[in-house]
């Protein structure tokens, strides 16, 4: 079976596609952005790279940085059209299945070509905000409806997005909701007891959708004595958040480590930090099932998580195995959740036992692999 994957270069995509390494499928990845070099971690996949530039002329990146208007004029002539390139790829590779990950960046650019090839099975995996927040991301109801009418098979990362797709024109086969990276590989030996945990870990997105500033404001409203023996670790922090923390007299009293967005942290290392964390905080106004929070849950960190569209309540029961932030702009609500979580070790310990077992049962990578392999077999057999 030949599968043509269409995606941006993304950690979750690489993890998903690696679930198929020993499946016997012939897999081709069309990098819709043509960004970066060949990806070694999926070196068994044929990778569609280097398609965009007709001529990768010397000093191209320098010209782009120094004379952007000139560069844009040149690129109007020098860049190949994604539609034409993808159309040629269908002819040469002859896939049985095209599987695109995320609608706006990967799906819309190939939609016209897929409409021209109605006999090719088209699988779409929704990611993060692409269905829930499509209008804010520049999509229209008409275009989303048109895209979903062409999709033969839908995979979502949460139950919420299956409902949204059905409300926006999808009437074909739903293959199920699967975590976007194809499952978690958690080492139980890296999960510390409650007594050993001394870290508050925070996802630092502050990008219009992510609302980490509210978390920082909430922490500042707490008594410093509640935090003095703890370390605060912030990962994937946008620069505005880093500057906010560095300018805060309150945070200068505390032990704080900030990993800026784009600064590489191996996933295994991040999981180890989560495995020593008391609580994990993440706040946004839009998301799918948040993979990082599921990872933190699986490592035993007590989750305090926003709940856009009811997505987080699919895995978190408020006051039982975590806290849900219903108003992502409410500093007082977030502060109350943090204080309650830090002061109640019994609740955290009970949540840890439940959460670790729940993630192992529902998101274990080894258990998910045969299910993911079978997805494509089921598509190809119809």
pLDDT value of position 380: 77
pLDDT along the chain (382 residues), means of 10: 96 96 97 89 94 64 62 65 94 97 95 97 93 86 96 96 95 96 96 97 94 98 94 96 96 95 88 98 94 96 97 96 98 98 97 98 97 93 67
Q: Are residues 176 and 242 in the same domain?
A: no
- Tens of pLDDT, residue by residue over 260-317, are 988 888 899 999 999 999 999 999 999 999 999 999 999 999 999 999 999 999 999 9
- 277: Cβ contacts below 8 Å, ≥ 6 apart: 197, 199, 200, 201, 233, 296, 299, 301
* Whole-number Å distance between alpha carbons of 288 and 310: 10
Q: Are 224 and 352 contained in the same domain?
A: yes
Cα separation, 221 vs 248, whole angstroms = 12
Q: What is the pLDDT of residue 87?
A: 96
Residue 79's pLDDT is 77
Q: What is the pLDDT of residues 51-75, one digit of tens each?
A: 887 656 555 556 566 656 655 665 6
Question: Where is 358: in which H helix or E strand?
Answer: helix 345-363
Give kind and range of the element (H or E) at residue 6. strand 2-7
User: Which residue, 344, 356, 205, 346, is CA-closest to 274?
Assistant: 356
DSSP code string of 263-281? S---HHHHHHHHTTEEEEE
Supply the CATH number for residue 357's domain. Answer: 3.40.50.2000
Same domain as 243, residue 135: no
On whether both 164 and 273 belong to a single domain, the answer is: no
What span, in angstroms and rounded, lies between the C-alpha atoms of 48 and 31?
Answer: 6
Same domain, 262 and 140: no
Tell whether 215 and 158 lie within a shared domain. no
Same domain, 219 and 294: yes
Please indicate, yes or no, whether the overall pTM of this predicted structure exceeds 0.95.
no
Contact between 324 and 207 under an 8 Å Cβ cutoff? The reply is: no
Distance CA 148, CA 123 (A): 10
C-alpha of 223 from chain center: 33
Clarify whether residues 168 and 200 are in a common domain.
no
- CA–CA separation, 127 vs 103, rounded Å? 8
**Beta pairing partners, 31:** 7
Q: Nearest 5 degrees, angle CA 39-CA 50-CA 4?
A: 65
Q: Looking at the structure, do residues 336 and 359 belong to the same domain, yes or no?
A: yes
Neighbours of 184 (CB within 10 A): 23
Q: Do 318 and 328 share a structural domain?
A: yes
Domain encompassing residue 207: 188-363
Ramachandran angles phi, psi of 176, nearest 5° = 125, 170
Q: Are residues 211 and 347 in the same domain?
A: yes
At 137 the pLDDT is: 77
Q: What total number of domains does the chain contain?
A: 2
What is the predicted pLDDT for the residue at 381? Answer: 72
Q: Verify that 15 and 164 share a domain, yes or no.
A: yes
- The pLDDT assigned to 59 comes to 54
């Amino acid at each position: 079976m030949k599968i043509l994957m269409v995606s941006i270069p993304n950690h979750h995509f690489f993890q998903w596609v690696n679930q198929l390494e020993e499946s016997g499928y012939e897999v081709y990845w069309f990098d819709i952005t043509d960004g970066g070099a060949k990806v070694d971690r999926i070196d068994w996949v044929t990778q569609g790279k280097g398609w965009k530039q007709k001529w990768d002329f010397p000093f191209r990146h320098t010209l782009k940085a120094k004379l952007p208007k000139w560069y844009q004029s040149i690129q109007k002539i020098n860049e190949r059209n994604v539609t034409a390139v993808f159309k040629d790829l269908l002819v040469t590779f002859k896939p049985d299945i095209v599987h695109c990950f995320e609608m706006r960046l990967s799906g819309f650019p190939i939609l016209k070509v897929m409409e021209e090839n109605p006999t090719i099975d088209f699988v779409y995996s929704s990611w993060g905000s692409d269905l829930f927040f499509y209008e804010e991301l520049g999509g229209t109801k008409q275009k989303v409806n048109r895209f979903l009418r062409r999709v033969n098979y839908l995979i979502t990362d949460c139950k919420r997005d299956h409902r949204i797709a059905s409300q926006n024109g999808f009437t074909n086969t739903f293959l199920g909701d699967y975590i976007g990276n194809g499952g978690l590989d958690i080492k139980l030996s890296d999960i510390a007891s409650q007594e050993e945990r001394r870290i508050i870990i925070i996802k630092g997105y502050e990008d219009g959708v992510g609302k980490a500033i509210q978390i920082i404001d909430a922490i500042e409203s707490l008594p410093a004595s509640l935090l003095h023996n703890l370390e605060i670790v912030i990962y994937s922090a946008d620069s505005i958040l880093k500057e906010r923390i560095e300018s805060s007299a309150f945070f200068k009293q505390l032990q704080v480590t900030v990993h800026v967005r784009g600064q590489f942290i191996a996933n295994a290392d991040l999981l180890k930090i989560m495995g020593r964390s008391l609580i994990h905080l993440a706040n946004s106004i839009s998301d799918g099932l948040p993979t990082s929070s599921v990872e933190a849950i699986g490592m035993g960190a007590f989750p305090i998580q926003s709940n856009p569209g009811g997505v987080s309540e699919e895995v978190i029961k408020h006051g039982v195995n975590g806290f849900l932030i219903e108003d992502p702009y409410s500093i007082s609500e977030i502060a109350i959740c943090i204080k309650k979580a830090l002061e109640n070790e019994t609740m955290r310990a009970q949540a840890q036992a439940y959460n670790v077992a729940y993630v192992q049962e529902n998101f274990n990578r080894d258990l998910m692999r045969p299910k993911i392999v079978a997805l494509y077999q089921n598509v190809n057999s119809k």
